[in-house]
Amino acid sequence: MIEINVIVRVWKQDCKRCNAYGLNKSYEDEDTRLSKIATKNILKGYFEELRNKFGHEIKKRESDMNAPHQSHLCAACKHGICKFA
């Protein structure tokens, strides 16, 4: 198992009227943008960790997201934590 820790920091903004920090309200497009950035950084860390572990570049492969889930091969299923089971 490879474990990657992610820290997300959301910066607040001062209110124009009262000069105090406002409540963080999110926008759907901003949430999507931040999710894409986070995913990209997680994958970057994952593949760097694999390269460090195995000493060479690991090539990404194409996935078939329409294939049936194979619970007998899934480590998360074996630990009882799979969301696809």
Structure confidence by residue, pLDDT tens digits, 15-27:
778 877 766 667 7
Domain membership of residue 55 (yes or no) is yes
Range with the largest mean pLDDT of 1-10, 22-31, 39-48, 60-69: 39-48
Q: Indicate the DSSP class of residue 10.
A: -
Domain membership of residue 49 (yes or no) is yes
Q: How many domains does the chain have?
A: 1
Residue 16's SS3 state is: coil
Q: Indicate the DSSP class of residue 73.
A: G
Domain that holds residue 17: 7-59
The residues, ordered by sequence, that sit 6+ positions from 57 with a Cβ below 8 Å of its Cβ are 47, 51
Predicted TM-score (pTM) of this structure: 0.43
Predicted pLDDT of residue 72? 92
User: Mean pLDDT throughout 64-82?
Assistant: 86
pLDDT above 70: percentage of residues in the chain: 85
Longest Cα separation, the chain: 59
Looking at the DSSP bridge assignments, the partners of residue 23 are none
Residue 35 scores a pLDDT above 80: yes
Predicted pLDDT of residue 15? 78
The residues, ordered by sequence, that sit 6+ positions from 75 with a Cβ below 8 Å of its Cβ are 1
Looking at the DSSP bridge assignments, the partners of residue 51 are none
Domain membership of residue 17 (yes or no) is yes
Domain membership of residue 77 (yes or no) is no
